[in-house]
Chain A
Amino acid sequence: MTLQENQLWRFFTSVQLALIIIASLAITSIIGTIIPQGESINFYLERYGARSTVFFEILALNEMYGSFWFRTLLFLFCLNLIACSINRLPSIPKIINKDNWDINFASLTQAKENSQFISDQSSTHVINELKNALKLKVLDIKELKAGTRFLVFFEKHAWSRYGAYIVHLSILVIFFGGVVGSLFGFKAFVMVPEGESTSIAYSQEGSREALPLGFEVFCETFAIEYYKNGTPKEYKSDLSVLEQGQEIKKKRITVNNPLTHRGITFYQSSYQQIPGEYSLYLSLNQSVSTGSQSSINKTFSTKIKKLNQWGEVKAEFRIVAASKDGHGHGPYEIWFDDQDDNPITFVVNDNQTVEVKRESGTYSFAMKQRFATGLQVAKDPGVWLVYIGCTLMLLGLYVSFFMSHRKVWIAVDQTKEGTLVTIKGKTNKNKDGLMRYQNKIESTLIDLEMKPVRRA
């Protein structure tokens, strides 16, 4: 039994199957856009009732794009693509390498649809002029009758017949990239409070397990920038990467501008206020004996009523109250003490800086609500394959749609009336394009002072 006779092979190589799979993918994909995906079971119970929910569960319609049956459909799609390509690909080189001289000269010159011109010059002269005028790299000339009868052949973009297969290959490369990504990569999420670091992220795929990153990511600050009208302009986090306690990388990430380290990328995804916790920036400016200024600073993450100590300058402070109205967003009342004077109490607003003059120098306080930044953490070693596949796809689509295999024969025959030049063109697609191309050749011949006998 040959491959062609094998029932299974014939099933997989049939175009009907391709059409059925494409149609099924299109139709089934609609379901997941109507039924919200990946919600909790209570959501479906409430919205659709018990009966429908059971039905959804059985057919996995609540997570259909990752379901067994949808993946099977995608897998079948790939198998069908491979089988169709293997089945049809070998015929392409056969078409491309076909003997182009195997053509009847008499019927070529007589066919009404081929345009014909007449010239006073000898056929060898015409051939030379054609050679120069057409400016083609490859121009095959066959002498059929010594010095009087010639057949010229040239072709363009024969390889464009592979265009559709480039597209098919590109789809497989994209799928392969997707599989590589899901096998060797992960999608995870982690909240990092300001002033803290993390060395794990939580998987977003089923298990929700903690994944070790292999290094630490420290969030120095998180901030929201607003437009004048109050809508958010940018979310940003100042992140740094630490390996064995050493800072290796530092970057301010924004929504469209992530940080990547060792193949793991951190995206600005969300944020959270940490209730009752504050971020306090404290600096001390001192006049040094030489007349210049020296400055040291430290950022504290703290809670209300907690005593904070800044050992370096032997100062301590605590937030006595976080607001008058109980919302906790200021004005904050702060108690402060250092070695020089008596302790003092002062008030500072949220996101405001207050200066406190002491004997040893000037302290600046800046205080704000403490945030945690929400980071989407992704590792996807397959993404480059996907991008290569996408590039291939665009290239393949361009080749298969907008390039065609054009063949042109020019018969040059010296007769009693003069030298007859006949042009025949052939293409696998885009007849209009070929016609325009033939018209160009015709006007070249008219420029060479040949008279048209008939035009295509």
Chain B
Amino acid sequence: MDSSQFFGITTFIYLGAVFCYVTFSLFRVRTVGALATVITAIGILFNLAGLGLRWIESHKQGVGHIPLSNMYESLVFFALSIAVVYLVIEFIYKTRLLGSFAMPFAFLAMAYAALSTEFSKDIKPLLPALQSNWLTAHVITCFIGYAAFAISCGLSIFYLVVSFKYSEKSKLPNNDGFLSSLPSEKIAEVSYKMMIFGFLWLSAGIITGAVWANSAWGTYWSWDPKETWSLITWFVYAFALHAKYTRNWDGSRMAWMSILGFISVIFTYYGVNFLLSGLHSYGG
């Protein structure tokens, strides 16, 4: 088997995990919930194995490098980060109800990597500019941040759906399978936690990128579109955090900010590579 087959299988495993999380949320069968967690863990193992295999494949081709060098590889790593970060919060908060809104992002990232024809999936040798230890640090920090923002966005959608339902019925639903037994404040809190966690890692990602740029080009900041968009994303989240601390923005405003932030993340990650040109164009 080669790595792309592993990634294909991982896509289906993540889809299975999403299915189990949603089923669990609807019918509250404990075994289905436990199954969802186990499937996610298996998905993570396959995802990791695929990345490991791709690393070995690159060495066999004589151009060995860590599989974090282009759009395809980063999408695979993005999916892995989302699944791992999600499992950690499931463990910390001891609830499986968040899975239905977090794991779809892992599935989508993986499915897009596996199915898209917009970018090359071949293992290519590293360009001279990419041959640096900062590559690993930069990509890992950025994608942990992106993963946290994706989950925060998913939970924000969850929050908005819940609060919309509540306001519609203007009372707490007592037997509304999908949405009950998890207070919306709790969802907002976890979403906010993911936001600040992501903010820390995004900052680290921008900083490692700056240090790398300085060692390759002699300038740590050049207002390249990718850099600028990462800063715009940083400002969006900084705005949200300050609005919450100082203006006491409520759950739904913060939820919209989280969604806006994630749109900015997607543009930084994806849009810049395909719509704008700049130093980062090899990302595609």
Contacts and interface: CB of A to CB of B under 8 A. Distances in A.
User: Are A and B interaction partners?
Assistant: yes
Interface of A: 15, 18-19, 22-23, 25-26, 29-30, 32-34, 36-37, 65, 164, 178, 187, 227-229, 231-235, 254-258, 265, 267-269, 376-378, 380, 383, 386-387, 390, 393-394, 397-398, 401-402, 432
A394 B199 CA distance: 10
Contact of B231 (A29, A376, A377): A29
A253 B277 CA distance: 27
A258 B232 contact: no
B216 A227 contact: no
B236 A232 contact: no
B223 A256 contact: no
Interface string B159-196: 00000000000000000000000000000010000001
A15 to B, nearest CB: 4
Contacts of A401: 196-197, 199-200
B128 A22 contact: no
B210 A390 contact: yes
Nearest to A20: B239
Given A29-B228, A30-B232, A267-B217, A397 B200 contact: yes
B246 interface: yes
Given A37-B223, A256-B215, A23 B239 contact: yes
A13 to B, nearest CB: 11
17 contacts: A15-B246, A19-B239, A22-B242, A26-B236, A29-B228, A29-B231, A29-B232, A29-B235, A33-B228, A234-B128, A234-B131, A255-B129, A377-B218, A383-B214, A394-B200, A394-B204, A397-B199
Contact of A26 (B134, B200, B239): B239
B82 interface: no
B203 interface: yes
Nearest to B186: A432
B256 interface: no
A34 B128 CA distance: 27
A255 B196 CA distance: 35
Nearest to B196: A401
Contacts of B223: 32, 37, 65
A83 to B, nearest CB: 14
B243 interface: yes
Contacts of A268: 128
B5 interface: no
A33 B276 contact: yes
Contact of B218 (A30, A36, A376): A376
B260 to A, nearest CB: 10
A15 B242 CA distance: 8
Interface residues on B, range: 35 or more
B228 A267 contact: no
Contacts of A393: 203, 207
B1 interface: no
Contacts of A383: 214, 220
Interface in B217-269: 217-221, 223, 225, 228-229, 231-232, 235-236, 238-239, 242-243, 245-247
A173 to B, nearest CB: 13
Contacts of A34: 276
A136 B207 CA distance: 37
B207 A390 contact: yes
Which of A22, A25, A387 is packed against the most chain B CB atoms within 10 Å? A22
A258 B218 contact: yes
Contacts of B216: 255-256, 267
B238 A228 contact: no
A29 B238 CA distance: 15
B74 to A, nearest CB: 20
A25 B231 CA distance: 9
Contact of B232 (A26, A257, A377): A26
Contacts of B228: 29-30, 32-33, 65
A233 B125 contact: yes
A25 B235 contact: yes
A233 B218 contact: no
A4 to B, nearest CB: 17
A222 B228 CA distance: 33
B215 A258 contact: yes
A143 B66 CA distance: 62
Contacts of B239: 19, 22-23, 26
A164 to B, nearest CB: 8
A229 B215 CA distance: 27
A18 B204 contact: no
Contacts of A258: 215, 218
Given A33-B225, A256-B216, 18 more contacts: A19-B247, A30-B232, A32-B223, A32-B228, A34-B276, A65-B223, A65-B228, A187-B219, A255-B128, A256-B131, A267-B218, A380-B218, A387-B211, A390-B210, A394-B200, A397-B200, A401-B200, A432-B93
A265 B128 contact: no
A193 to B, nearest CB: 21
Contacts of B200: 394, 397-398, 401-402
Nearest to A231: B125
A386 to B, nearest CB: 6
Given A26-B232, A29-B228, A256-B216, A233 B247 contact: no
Interface in B53-93: 62-63, 93
A256 B218 contact: no
B172 to A, nearest CB: 21
Nearest to B271: A33
A254 B128 contact: yes
A432 B189 CA distance: 10
B207 A229 contact: no
A376 B129 CA distance: 14
Contacts of A377: 218
Given A187-B218, A256-B132, A267-B216, A229 B125 contact: yes
A244 to B, nearest CB: 26
